[in-house]
Chains A and B, each alone.
Chain A
Amino acid sequence: MKMIQRLLAAAAGALALATPAALAAEAGHHPADYDFSFEGPFGTFDRAQLQRGFLVYQQVCSACHSMNQLHIRNLGEEGGPFYSEEYPNPNDNPVVRAIAADYIVEDGPDEYGDMFERPGRPADRFPNPYANPQMAAAANGGAMPPDFSVIVKARHGGAEYIRSLMLGYDYEVPEDVRIGPGQYYNPYMSGGVIAMPPQLQDGLVEYADGTEATKEQMATDIAAFLAWAAEPHMEVRKKMGLMVMIYLLVLAGLLYAAYRQVWSNVKH
């Protein structure tokens, strides 16, 4: 029996090791470690940071990157950057309404069969910067800018990867990497070659909360915002997890006591 116990421990260890090993294999530079507020079992999003990150998205990224799975209303939903207890329904939230109204959305057809344009509403999806993937690729040298909805989940390293990538343009190009026209070297990108030019420079945006918009600050903020965009329910998930864990641990304790009681008169 001891042996099986040891084996099980070894198996658990091997399982734990095997997954990250497989994941790390294809990455170039490992993303730099950064202590995001939403890490760990009790981590939550920093609301001010999400707002700053959204500003970077709105003013910089959204020129090329879509965010198809998100609606503007998500910004004002519980856990979102602009959630306010005063406006549990994001359609009433003036900040969200103002953000939505800044977008021009195609709607229709109207009663005469014509498409028309109108200001955005919180219920709209974030408008796509390009009409279709082909146009997106054509406008960007053949490389379609990836959709941002779940990009943090779709990349090994998650938010830290995004942050490192945004700051990863200052490296010497190694001799064995060939950089074509319209390409840049970025060691965090798989293969080291990226079609996106460096985007961030100090002072590119002006934060409403007075935070200095350094490159590092903006890279960190956009990474945090995209982490939220990929999983708006993360805080609810962790909060519920705590309750579930407490419940299960108490139940396990009670069942163990019952087990000891039931088996107390029986040798086994």
Chain B
Amino acid sequence: MSGPSTYEPKTGVERWLDQRLPIVRLGWDSFVDFPTPRNLNYWYTFGGILTVCLMIQIVTGIVLAMHYVPHIDYAFASVERIDRDVNFGWLLRNIHANGASMFFLAVYLHMLRGLYYGSYKAPRELLWILGVVIYLLMMAAAFLGYVLPWGQMSYWGAMVITNLFGALPLIGTPITEWLWGGFSVGNATLNRFFSLHYLIPFLIAGIVGLHVWALHVPGNNNPTGLSIKTKADTLPFHPYYTVKDGFAIIVFMIIFAFFVFYWPDALGHADNYIEANALVTPAHIVPEWYLLPFYAILRAVPDKLGGVILMFGAIGVLFILPWLDTSKVRSMRYRPLGRWFFVFFVIACLGLGWCGAELPDNKVPVLGAIGLNFLWLGRILTLYYFAYFLVILPLLGFIEKPTQRPASIEESVLGKGKSDASASAAPAE
């Protein structure tokens, strides 16, 4: 990890273990004495929050899987049975279903944090890319999971998404049929979706391990974007950040619990309480809120294949982001222009989500007066989404004049020419 290990086995058992499997040392160096920038704000607590989210999803999911029946004739009823007759089944399902939304809420804030403070830049490119892989897997898991209750949105959502692959030339149809396990979305599809839905969280957990590993080599980025220079820039992870993360996690849990106990169906679609029916298409097929921006991008292109390419491109571009941003400065705090483009980027993402929720022909409120409908708003915002990564960030590095940065993390916290004797001398009291 970052710097030499400070772990000293104190008992004979610990020494014995340490010489054979230094797992306590690993934990100590990673989560106790790990030097962490002293200026991390609450935006840096989402890593911990996300870990908790993943654990909650896995634990509730494993129990739900004990009662769920992955068969098109029984799936819907088995979910109802979980809600009605399984002890605390309603609670488990509310946690699991809302947990997916909470997971995405946290991951989006985590990603925006990374974008704002330049956490994707050298030497953290792989850390960022692993994060994008986790995000992709999360989307797959969420989509597969949404199919399992076998409601109308499950079925028709599965239909729409799997049909996207049909847009590929030549291999489109074979791939779609291979995904279905037949010639339409059916029992084979539901079965394999259940199997994969159970698999993916463990893949995510594995990559989270790599993600944390890749974090602990260069260490955390921080709001100034400056690299750690001296010990005075850092604090040991424990107790400083364990307590801060712990507090943030509980605050997040309060929001989570609000949905679970007081508004459990707010984030789902009413149609998913109607059992899947291949003969009745819902008036308005919409994905879950966290996938709406991509749905808007998909629909922004009149050509199906073009839409699919653009939609996957919207995630693909994140993989090469570390090399698209040419600025020498990491944090947007010191990028007077970049900061504004970032603000517009966030607005564009929210706007795309809005476009995805509306029918393309609906007029945009206020702007509808000049003839703007959601299709065109979606197109404009899609353009900005890609321009941000492919034009603005590459060019900005050459144009923008960054503002004055502090000399070190320590200076940014304490002001120029001072040092915090108490903290650097005995930080872990």
Contact = CB atoms under 8 A, between A and B. Distances in A.
B80 interface: yes
A267 B274 CA distance: 56
B31 interface: no
Chain B, interface size category, equals 35 or more
Interface of B is mostly: helix
Contacts of B292: 18
A258 to B, nearest CB: 5
Interface string B244-277: 1011001101100110111011110011011100
A241 B274 CA distance: 27
B265 A190 contact: no
Given A18-B354, A19-B266, A21-B358, A74 B84 contact: yes
Contact of B420 (A11, A154, A249, A267): A267
Interface stretch (B36-44, B213-221, B308-316): B36-44
Nearest to B359: A25
B67 interface: no
A221 B347 CA distance: 45
Contacts of B422: 265-266
Contact of B357 (A21, A154, A265, A267): A21
Given A23-B270, A267-B413, A244 B240 contact: no
Contacts of A263: 240, 243-244
B283 A26 contact: yes
B116 A4 contact: yes
A233 interface: yes
Contact of A237 (B84, B223, B264): B264
Contacts of A25: 284, 358-359, 362
Given A238-B261, A262-B239, A7 B343 contact: yes
A139 interface: no
A248 B247 contact: no
Nearest to A237: B261
Given A18-B289, A255-B250, A1 B41 contact: yes
B282 to A, nearest CB: 9
Given A25-B358, A232-B84, A259-B244, A266 B270 contact: no
Given A7-B346, A252-B254, A255-B246, A153 B273 contact: yes
Contacts of B177: none
A83 B257 CA distance: 28
B182 interface: no
Given A25-B358, A156-B270, A259-B243, A265 B253 contact: no
Contacts of A256: 247
Interface string B402-420: 0000000000011000001
Contacts of B261: 237-238, 240-242, 244-245
Given A68-B77, A248-B257, A233 B343 contact: no
Contacts of A153: 265, 270, 273
B91 interface: yes
B414 A267 contact: yes
A252 B41 CA distance: 17
A125 to B, nearest CB: 10
Contacts of A155: 270
Given A18-B353, A255-B247, A241 B260 contact: yes
A7 to B, nearest CB: 5
Given A70-B84, A255-B246, 10 more contacts: A10-B347, A22-B358, A25-B362, A150-B80, A154-B270, A154-B271, A248-B254, A255-B250, A258-B246, A265-B422
Interface of B: 38-39, 41, 43, 77, 80-81, 83-84, 90-91, 94, 109, 116, 223, 235, 239-240, 243-244, 246-247, 250-251, 253-254, 257-258, 260-262, 264-267, 270-271, 273-275, 283-284, 286, 289, 292, 339, 343, 346-347, 350, 353-354, 357-359, 362, 413-414, 420, 422-423, 427, 429
16 contacts: A18-B289, A19-B289, A25-B284, A26-B283, A151-B273, A233-B84, A238-B261, A240-B91, A244-B257, A251-B250, A252-B250, A255-B246, A256-B247, A258-B247, A262-B240, A265-B423
